[in-house]
Amino acid sequence: MATLKELSLADRLFLKAYPWRRIHPTPQANPDKSLGASRIALASSAGMVCKDQIPFDDTVRGGDPSFRWIAHQTPMEDLVETHRSQSFDHTGIAKDPNLALPLQRLNELLEQGLIGSINHRHASFMGSITAPGRMIRDTAPEIARGLLEDGVDRVLLVPV
């Protein structure tokens, strides 16, 4: 279980003092389809890229606000985790990228008839963003517009 107590002292002090962004008012979109008829997309903050894409840049002050589209048909062996944070154990994702970007699990849910369809692409970004202004102003709206154009019905967002 993740609790603040498991983090390093430096991380805990940072998080205690950090001015968290409060989402207000809370937006609400309602579903117009059942889950079994819905097109699903993922958004992962694990810094995943395809091996032919540019890795995320952990030297950007305040955090790299860019994102990549990951094609759903990407072979799992072509996914590379480029998140540089030392605050979490990377071995699980290295062993099984589904842990953070569950492409194969979506295929299985579709085969089981539990979801309607899978979007042709998913959003990937690196979550260690302490200055989220550009993420809020530029990146998030661009991701949202893309998913809207794709006709996505529900989005599952996975932190790391």
Most distant pair of Cα atoms in the chain: their distance: 46
Residue among 93, 103, 122, 124 that touches another protein (CB under 8 A):
93
Considering only residues 99 through 128, tell me which ones interact with another protein, judged by CB under 8 A: 99-100, 102, 104-106, 108-109, 114-115, 123, 125, 127-128
132 binds another protein (CB under 8 A): yes
- Contacts with another protein: how many residues (CB under 8 A)? 71
Residue 91, CA distances (Å) to 54, 67, 99, 119, 129 in order:
22, 23, 10, 28, 22
DSSP, residue by residue, 100-123: TS-HHHHHHHHHTTSSSEE-SEEE
Q: Is 60 in the site for another protein (CB under 8 A)?
A: no
Find the part of the chain contacting another protein (CB under 8 A) among 48-56, 69-77, 146-154.
Answer: 146-154
Rule CB under 8 A: choose which of 72, 84, 90, 134 binds another protein. Answer: 90
Binds another protein by CB under 8 A, chosen from 9, 10, 22, 59: 22
| CB closer to another protein, 37 vs 71 | 37
Q: How many angstroms separate the CA atoms of 113 and 110, rounded?
A: 5
Residues 6+ apart with CB under 8 A from 63: 126, 128, 129, 130, 131, 132, 135
- Under the criterion CB under 8 A, does residue 12 sit at the interface with another protein? no
